[in-house]
Structure formats: structure tokens, C-alpha cells
Structure 1
Amino acid sequence: MRKIFLVGFFLISTVGFAQIVLRNGFFQYKEVFVETDDFQTEYLEELEKALPAISKDSPLRLKVLNDLGYHYHTRNLNVALEYIEMGLEEAREKEDSYWEGNLMVSQGAILLRMEELKLAEYVLKEAILKIPESEAWLLYTNLGYVYERKGMLGDAFVYASKTLEIGENYGDTKAIAMAYSDMSNLFWKQGKIDAALNYGLKSIELFEKRGLNDLDYDFTLHLVGQYMVDLDRPKDAIEYFKQSVQIGERYGFYNNLSDTFIALANLKAKMGDFSEARKSGLEALRYAELLNNEFMIMRSYMALGKASNMAGDYEDAAVYLRTSIEKATTNFGDKFYLSLVYDELSKSYEGAKAYENALNTSKISSRLRGEVFTAEAEEKVAVLETQMQVAQKENTIKIQEAELSRQWVIQVFYLTLAGVLLFFLFLLYRVFLKKKKYSSLLEKKNEEKEFLLKEIHHRVKNNLETISSLLTLQIASIKNPDFQQIMEETYLRVQSMGMIHLRLYKKDNLKSVEMKEFFEGLGKFILETFDASDRIDFRIRMNTLELDVDVAIPIGLIVNELISNSLKYAFPRQKSGQICVQLDEKEGNLFLKVSDDGIGIMENSTTQGTGFGRELISLLTRQLDGKMTLANEAGTAFTFEFLLNKAA
């Protein structure tokens, strides 16, 4: 069954409570006492406020109605029954047998506490086929309560055993804890205090492991406190009662509060503190009347009567006890508690020297006890207890055998794993040796290749320097100015490529060029060549950026052409100015900008020089799959965009 319900509901406003919250049109519900106990007494009122906003078509509505009905039975039985009947009507309209079954279980629990034992038994048995076996433990728990109230303790023990079986089969901690709690109560009623305490403490341990302070944990604390009273351990009893009262007051468990104050009344009377005993008895009566539970009212009057007997107030005791019997009515099914009331009334009559009445009430008490504690019931409980102990021992043996088998399997597994690991390590070592040998060979070959590559760059650099020297000699002998200019431009281009190979030769990385340093060297060289270092401010605006040599050479040639053109045409008559180079990488693209603040390029102007420089720039731009943009404002600015991956 789902623990968190997310149900669509189209409302503009937001409604929020501790357990149920409407966020963004969806209800989020943390099931009370299943997923959370982080709330206070008003949790039922909060669920009531949320209910009208939940559509009848929503599966959450039936869940909330069931929770309201079940948990309201700890405060007001009539209100609880109203919610359950509303839920049953809606479940049957929708033909939802699952929720019909769950609501019938809650209905049975409420009818039981309203003293409708026959009707409760009928409803619970009708629900059996509607509930999945894994969730049937609450149904069997309440059936056990019905038979307990009827005084049929053997049958009650049968249903507690069924609850335990379901809990163990499905690993349900709550079901196991409930079964132990119910068994402890049944043992207590039979006077087997040691067995009762043993099962009660086992139940508390499981409830605390579960980590939720719910109704049943609260009641089990009360039970163990009662056992401590019978074992004459009042300090321990008071501690358990305090815990029970604290939980009961936080969540409004009126039935448990009434139970615990009844037990406190008995304890205080036993300790001789009759004033406190009377206060506790009246507090128990107050909660019982708030709950409108005749059974709890009857027991509260019995506790007041018992305390008065122990104080020697026999007349008051008789009044309380006769009132208790009146509350029980003729159809009262719990013969165990009825026998206790008649027993106390017999003591009152005896104390008041009304011996005939004492004898008659004593006979009634004995008859009722005889009907509860029959030999058949004793035998049934004893057989079931023996079967359960045998089953637990067999289960313990099976667990031990399984543990031994598991340990043997683990040992074999570890030995096998160790063998596999050793073999694997041996293989790894062999592979390591081969890889080491291969790596050494590769490293040697790589060193040889790097040496050869450096040598190539060195020779290319030397060849380019030789070409540059030849060009210098040729330029010096040329008389034609135009031809001389062409040769000078060629000289600069050769020098640009030579500078790249020089940097590759001098550094460890033979595949890439750091462009900022390259541009600085290139700009300085060109300015010196044109004798413009003093009048031109050359600036590089970029961070360090390394490019592959196949990209660096074309970009270097483009920048060389543009700087040379700026020096030749942008600053006539030895005019001063500024040239700026900027190269950035952004999102896989290269952005190059070469600008000057010279005279700019006039519109419709004819191409100066041979035009080879522009053709070269255009060719190199296409080579790098780029595009060029010219801006002619406050000088000249050439902007390029290259696809870096394509360029590389």
C-alpha cells in the first residue's frame, strides 16, 4: 500500500497542514503514525479541515476518512463511527473492495469499544476476504480483542498468534510488536506475570526500534507499568505510566489515558496514598466520559471503589462499585472485569458487615471467573504457547543453520575470490611488464620523433633565414621601387613563418605556438623593419593562447600583412599612431581583430600596391574557414572569425 499519496487537485489557493499539504495543485499526505508522529493533539482537526477539499474521485479521500475514523475512536466513538460510515458509503459507491475492507476493520474496532461485541465480530469476519494477507494483522488483532472481551482467552490467543505469523512472514515490525503486546495482556489476565512482562518488554523493544509513538506503543507502556505494580516495583511502574501519559496527552489518546489513570489509582491505593488514588480515579473517569466509552467508565468506577475499599471507606466503595455494575448493563460481554467488580463489591459488603450481600456477590464473582478461566481455555492457551515456543526454537535453529551455511558459503567465496584475485594479479603483473617494456619502446621512439621534429623545425628555420638573407641581398640590388616593395613584403612573410619555427624549435611542445608572445615578437620585428618603433604604439590585447602550428602560421601571415599595410598606408608622412592586435577564443571560435587609428580606407579608393596582400589574406581566411569584416571608423579595423575545430 502506498505510504505517500500525491493527488491532483486544481485550486489556486494553497492549503497546508502538518500531515496533509496542498502544493502546486497536488495533495501530499504523510500517513499519521505510519510515516510520521511529528504533530500534536490537533492532528485530527487538521485532517478534518482538509477533507472537504479532497475530491470524492481521489483515492486519498478514503484513506483520510479511514484515518479520521480509526484515530477518532481514541476520543469520540460516535464521531469516529460517522466518518467510517461515510467512508464505507463512498467505497461501496466506487466498488472499491480494498478500502471497504480497511474501513470495515476500523468499524469493527469502534463497535468493539461501543460494547457491540457481536456486531464487531460479524463486521470483522466479513472483512477478511477484502484485506490482503500482508495487511490482515490489524483485523486479526481486533478479532482477538473481541474474544478477549467475551472472556474467550484461548480464542483471543489464536488470533494474536495469527497476527504474529503475518508479522514474521512479511517482516512487519508493527504486527510483531502488536502480537507480543496482546499476548502479554492475555498472560496477565491468566495471572502469568513473568510471561506477561517478558512479552511486554519484547513488544516495547520493537515499538522503539520502529521509532513512532503511536496508540499501541502507548498502551503497551501502560501494560508493562501494570505488570510492575503486580510485581511490587512501584518506581518502575510510575516511570512507565509517566511515559504512557505523556504520549496520550500529546496525541489525545483518551482511552489509554483512562487506562493508565485507572492503573495509577490502583498503584497509589496500594501505596497508601488514597487521596492521590481518588484523584487518579476521577481523572480516569473524566477521560472515559469524554470518550463516551461505557467499558472505560465502568472500570473507572471500579478503580474508585477499589481505592475506597483499601482506604476503609466501604460505603463509598459500594456506591462506586454498584455504579460500575450499572454501567456494565446486562449485555456487558467482558466477564473478566465484571468478575473483578463483584469481587471488590463483596469486600465492601464484608467490610460493612453485610455478610449475606458479601456472600452473594462473591458467588457471582466466582461464577464469572469460572466462565472466563475454563480448563479448555487454559489448555488452548498452554498448547498455543508451547507451539509458539517450539516454533520459535525451530526458527532459532533454522536461523543458526542458515547462519552457519552462510558463513561456509562466505568462506568458500572468499577463498575462491582470493584465488581469482591472485591469478588476476599475476596476469596484471605480466601485462604490467609487457606494457612497461612497450612504454619504454614508445618513449624511446617518441624521443626520436621529437628530436627529428625539432631538427625539421630547426632546418626549416635555417632555410627560411637563408631565404631571408637572399631576399635582403636581392632587395639591396633592386633599383625599381615597386619591385623592391614586393620583395620586402615577401621578406616579411618569410620572417613571419621563420619566427614560428624558431619558437617551436626552442620549446618542448612541438605542435603549438603561444600567440601573444609570437605577436609581440612579430610586431617588434615589423616596426623595426619599417623604422617605426618610435612613432607607432603597438599593443597586444589578449591573454595567453596556444594554437596548433597549422592554425598559427596562417593567422601569423594575416597579422603580418595587416600590420605591414597599416605601416605603409595608414600613417603617411611619418605620422604617429597606434596599431592593436587582439585574438580571443570563445565557444569554439577564434576572433581576431587588427586595428589602427590611421587615416582609414577611403570609399571607392583604388587598390594600392600589387593587391597580392589582400588576395593572400582572403586565401588564408578561406583556408581557415573564416570570414572577414572591415570597419572604417576612426581608422581601420579588420575583424576575423574562424571555426577553431575546423581550423585545427
Structure 2
Amino acid sequence: MMYKKYCLKKIHIHFWFVISLLITNQSGCTQSRKIEFSAIKSQVSCGISHSEKALLTIISHFENTNETSFRKKNNFKTPIRYDFVVIPGLVFIILGLFFRSKKVQQNNLQILQLKEEEISKRNEALNKLYSEKDWLLKELHHRVKNNLQIVISLLNTQSAYLENKDAILAIQDSQHRMNAMSLIYQKIYESENLEIIDMCWYIPELVHYLKGVFNTDKKISYKLDIECVELDISQAIPLGLILNEAIINAIKYAYPETTQGEVNIRLKKIENENYQLIISDNGVGVPEHFELKNRNSLGMNLMHGLSSQVDGIFNIENKNGLTITINFKTVKKHKQE
């Protein structure tokens, strides 16, 4: 659009050049008309393009010739007429510039159309690859979830042939850990975003699952204070396993002499991208001289090791029950656009 306005502007200027020349070159022209012609030429020549230099040369020559003719006329000599040469030449140059600009415009439009077609083809190819990637990721998560379920079923079958209670408990603990991971993959498969987990949804779902699994006579209440945060799957899985271990430990060991208890789970933002996960209970806590390096505590060792996977700081406090704190920083999430 800007290019068309520019071309029309040039043609408009050229038109007034021709009109000015016709007025100036009349046999009865006056000095004032000659001055008007010079003023028009001076205004238009500011910013004129290189392709119009030939036009200015002809106009300058024609102006000088008119001035000479005008002087000869004052000395009672007949002026020389150049209309039949200059005006056709001006019209020819104007038409040439006009058709040349149209040709350039057509060439530019053709080039633009070719570029748009190329960009459109590339976008189609990228969209196809993106759709295929989504499908592959969904299929991958679905298969991982199915494989975990198969392993859980195998462990369940194996436990039926065991008589050792410790072995059976170990298998059951492994099943719970796999279910915690399987829950993540299941929801990833169902969601539109395949790389992040909404912890506002995941933590209540995990707690609900564990409450259903451990159907004991103990009346344990759960208080959740979860700040909505979307975590990358690389962080959601370790944190899910930490929650799994902490809740199971509270259910199994925190209330040996009572049937009532309370488990608090809190996920809050501290500052910027730093978050804090707190799991606490009002049970008996751990022994007074308990150490994290104790090899007999598999759950604590797992939670401590999983904290390092999210670059978190793991800490326990044995006061009015057990409080587990993990401070971590969220990684950059790969959101789909």
C-alpha cells in the first residue's frame, strides 16, 4: 500500500511538471510564470530519485532555453518553440517510470507469494511433527504406567507365595511406591500438557489413594495447604515418592498407642522460584538419637536421596511429632504453546 502511494505521488509530480512546462512555454508567457515554474522545479527536486535525473536535466535545459527565448522576444526577435520535442520526451519518461514501477511491484508480489507459500509449507511440517511428538509422548507415558501396573501385579502375585511377614511388607511398600509413580503417568496421559504436573491436583489424589490402601482402625485426619504450582515431571516424581514415604511412615509408625492422629501437608512459595514442602504429624516422632545415615531406615534414606534429585535441602525436626521439610527450587517448565 505504501509503495502504491509512492508511485502515485511521483506520477502526480510529473503531471504538474508537464502542466508547468506548457504554461511557461507559451509565446505570451510572463516573467512571473517563469518564476513559478522555477519554484515548482526546486520543490520537487528535493528528494528526487536517481532514476529521474534525466528528467531534471531535460527540464533544466528547457528552462534555460525558455529564458533565452524570452530575452530574444523582448529584443523583438521571434522565440524558439521546443514543445514538439520536450513534451513528448517528458511524457515518454513519465510513462517509462510508471510501467517500470508497476513491473517492480509485480515482481515483488510474486517473490512475496513464493515466500508465503514456503513459510506455509514449513509451518505445516512443524505442526505435523509437533502432533506426532505429542502422540509419542502420550503413548510413552501410557506404556510406562501400564508397565508399572504389570510389575505391581507381579509383586502382588509373588507375595501370595510368601510366608515371611517382613518380605510381604517389603513387597507392599514397593507396590505403594510404584502406584505413586503410576498415578503421575496416568494424569500426564490424560492432560493436555505432557511435561508438567499440577501439584494442587496430584497431592490430594495421592493422599486419597493412600487412605484407601491403608484401611486401618486408626482415625487419621489429613490437613492440606497446597499452593498451586506446576512442576516439571523430573521434580514431580521424586516429590511424589517423598510424600508417599512420609505419609506411609506416619500411618504405620507415628501412632502405635493411639487410634487418632493428624498429618499436615503444606506446599508454599518462599520467594521467587523457591518452594518449601512440609509433611508433619503429631505422633511419637523418631528416636532421640536417630541419624539419617541409619541403614535400618529405608524410608528416611529414600527421602533424603530423592531430595537431592530435585536439588533440595532435606531436614527433619523431632518436636511434638515428626516434621520433614524439603526446600527446593523449581526448574524451568517446558510448556507447550
Name the TM-score, length of structure 1 as normaliser: 0.36
Secondary structure of 1:631's counterpart equals strand
Question: Residue by residue, what CA displacement relative to the aligned partner does 1:532-554 show, whole Å, maximum 9, x if unpaired?
Answer: 59712223212332211111111
Q: Is the 8 A contact 1:584 1:591 kept in 2?
A: yes
Distance 1:399 1:601, change over 3 A: farther
Question: Residue by residue, what CA displacement relative to the aligned partner does 1:140-170 show, whole Å, maximum 9, x if unpaired?
Answer: xxxxxxxxxxxxxxxxxxxxxxxxxxxxxxx
Aligned ranges 1:96-111 → 2 under 5 Å: none
Quick one: distance in 2 between partners of 1:523 and 1:642? 21
Secondary structure of 2:331's counterpart equals helix
Which position in structure 2 is the counterpart of 1:404?
44
Pair 1:488 & 2:172 matched: yes
Aligned ranges 1:182-581 → 2 under 5 Å: 399-406=39-46, 409=49, 423-532=107-216, 535-581=219-265
Distance 1:636 1:418, change over 3 A: farther
Distance 1:645 1:606, change over 3 A: closer
Which position in structure 1 is the counterpart of 2:283?
598
Distance 1:437 1:528, change over 3 A: same
In the alignment, structure 2 segments of 5+ residues that lack a partner are: 1-32, 53-96
Quick one: distance in 2 between partners of 1:419 and 1:628? 73
Quick one: distance in 2 between partners of 1:491 and 1:574? 27
Quick one: distance in 1 between partners of 2:114 and 2:286? 71
Quick one: distance in 2 between partners of 1:414 and 1:614? 84
Distance 1:609 1:530, change over 3 A: farther
Instruction: Give the RMSD, CA atoms, in angstroms.
Output: 3.4
Which position in structure 2 is the counterpart of 1:619?
305
Q: Is the 8 A contact 1:628 1:639 kept in 2?
A: yes
Quick one: distance in 2 between partners of 1:398 and 1:467? 96
Quick one: distance in 2 between partners of 1:539 and 1:414? 80
- Matching residue's letter, 2:44: L
Quick one: distance in 1 between partners of 2:45 and 2:217? 90
Secondary structure of 2:117's counterpart equals helix
Distance 1:619 1:578, change over 3 A: same
User: Which stretch shows the higher mean deviation, 503-512 or 398-407?
Assistant: 398-407
Quick one: distance in 2 between partners of 1:606 and 1:404? 91
Question: Residue by residue, what CA displacement relative to the aligned partner does 1:79-128 show, whole Å, maximum 9, x if unpaired?
Answer: xxxxxxxxxxxxxxxxxxxxxxxxxxxxxxxxxxxxxxxxxxxxxxxxxx
Quick one: distance in 1 between partners of 2:331 and 2:45? 62
Which structure has the highest strand share of the two?
A: 2
Q: Is the 8 A contact 2:231 2:333 kept in 1?
A: no
User: What's the offset of the Cα at 1:409?
Assistant: 4.8
Quick one: distance in 2 between partners of 1:411 and 1:540? 78
User: What's the offset of the Cα at 1:516?
Assistant: 1.7
Quick one: distance in 2 between partners of 1:599 and 1:620? 24
Quick one: distance in 2 between partners of 1:439 and 1:427? 18
Which position in structure 2 is the counterpart of 1:587?
272
- Matching residue's letter, 1:560: N
Distance 1:426 1:546, change over 3 A: farther
- Percent identity of paired positions between Structure 1 and Structure 2: 29
Secondary structure of 2:226's counterpart equals coil
Secondary structure of 1:522's counterpart equals helix
Distance 1:546 1:606, change over 3 A: closer
Secondary structure of 2:135's counterpart equals helix
Quick one: distance in 2 between partners of 1:482 and 1:394? 116
Q: How many residues align?
A: 256
Higher relative contact order (CA 8 A, sep 6+): 2
User: What's the offset of the Cα at 1:517?
Assistant: 1.0
Distance 1:597 1:407, change over 3 A: same
Quick one: distance in 2 between partners of 1:509 and 1:583? 22
Aligned ranges 1:45-60 → 2 under 5 Å: none
User: What's the offset of the Cα at 1:445?
Assistant: 2.4
Name the TM-score, length of structure 2 as normaliser: 0.66
Secondary structure of 1:615's counterpart equals helix
Quick one: distance in 2 between partners of 1:636 and 1:467? 32
Distance 1:429 1:647, change over 3 A: closer
Pair 1:639 & 2:322 matched: no
Q: Is the 8 A contact 2:195 2:232 kept in 1?
A: yes
Aligned ranges 1:123-138 → 2 under 5 Å: none
- Matching residue's letter, 1:527: K
User: What's the offset of the Cα at 1:410?
Assistant: 11
In the alignment, structure 1 segments of 5+ residues that lack a partner are: 1-392
User: What's the offset of the Cα at 1:508?
Assistant: 1.6
Distance 1:550 1:587, change over 3 A: same
Distance 1:458 1:647, change over 3 A: closer
Q: Is the 8 A contact 2:250 2:281 kept in 1?
A: yes
Quick one: distance in 1 between partners of 2:110 and 2:223? 62
Q: Is the 8 A contact 2:282 2:322 kept in 1?
A: yes
User: What's the offset of the Cα at 1:492?
Assistant: 0.7
User: What's the offset of the Cα at 1:641?
Assistant: 1.3
Quick one: distance in 2 between partners of 1:410 and 1:416? 14
Quick one: distance in 1 between partners of 2:163 and 2:145? 29
Q: Is the 8 A contact 1:627 1:641 kept in 2?
A: yes
User: Which stretch shows the higher mean deviation, 586-595 or 484-493?
Assistant: 586-595
- Matching residue's letter, 1:601: V
Q: Is the 8 A contact 2:267 2:276 kept in 1?
A: yes
